[in-house]
Amino acid sequence: MAVWFVTGASRGLGAEIARAALASGHSVVAAARDPRTVRAAFPDAGERLLSVALDVTDEAQVQAAVEAGVEAFGRIDVLVNNAGRGLLGAVEEASDAEVRAVYDTNVFGVLTVTRAVLPVLRAQRSGHVVNVSSVGGFVGSAGWGVYASTKFAVEGFSETMALELAPLGIGVTLVEPGYFRTDFLDSSSLHRVTTAVEDYAEGPAGAMRMTAEQVNHGQPGDPVKAGLAIVSAIDSGRAPLRLQLGSDCVASVEAKLVAVQTELDAWREVAVSTDHDDVATPAR
């Protein structure tokens, strides 16, 4: 059985991943800002669960959590970078401090945890890194620009890591969930810009603020099924680079692929009609 290291494991998708891993017979290092919430979530887990305090923006705490996991179980086989922070608002509305706070968790936090765990996986010449991205890491959406940019960043370095780590026996998977019934839209995870620009109120960014309130805890995706799907994919030994979860995610990805194909077709028409020395731009 494997040892899973899961960040943001006290609730939401992180808790369901940890629960599914435990149900499959694995051991879990469940990391959360308050480890007491982890024990409360898994009261019957026994010795196969180690709860550790972890703020992914605190490098010393990250290193201590990883060392505690290795000391308890002797190894780490699967790293799940799940802890995240949201920001809702038009791109222009987001202050520098608000943007940096999201990047500190969603990008630099993921990198910090990954740097701490990879030496363990490299020494073993085996393991898997699971980075929880979002449908917003593949398709931009009004009101989610800054958040989406952090997930686009995760997608970029995860694709590269997949190439770099494959020769060392380490896999990489990006999980791209759509809307799931978790606490992500609560104030505990989702932050809203403090300064709103009136011009955006009646547009798509303003509409998204209303939508986020209306769909909270009524999202179509089942987080229990998502957790099971993620663990099953890793256990299969054939996990893809991208694991897209939820019918809304799949629909959004398919729509973007169609749009990209349309742009490529337009570009080919322009390129064929120009000399090689000319600079051509796709028709739009």
Domain boundaries, the chain: 3-245, 247-284
CA dist., res. 21 & res. 6, Å (int)? 10
Catalytic residue annotation: 133, 147, 151
* Terminal CA-CA length for the chain: 53
In words, the CATH class of domain 3-245 is alpha beta
**How confident is the model over 217-263, as pLDDT tens digits?**
556 567 888 999 999 999 999 999 999 887 777 777 788 888 889 88
pLDDT: is 45 or 115 the higher one? Answer: 115
Q: What is the Cα gyration radius of the chain? A: 20
With vertex at residue 129, the alpha carbon angle to CA 126 and CA 130, rounded to the nearest 5 degrees, is 145
Could you give the CA distance from residue 161 to residue 39 in angstroms, rounded to a whole number?
33
Question: What's the rounded Cα separation, in Å, for the pair 106 and 152?
Answer: 10
Q: What's the pLDDT band for 274 if we cut at 50, 70, 90?
A: low
Q: CA 145 to CA 99: how far, in whole Å?
A: 10
Each residue's pLDDT tens digit, 62-93 = 999 999 999 999 999 999 999 999 999 999 99
If pLDDT is split at 50, 70 and 90, which confidence band does 99 have? very high
Residue with tokens 């909270």: 216
pTM, rounded to two decimals: 0.86
Specify the DSSP class assigned to residue 53.
E
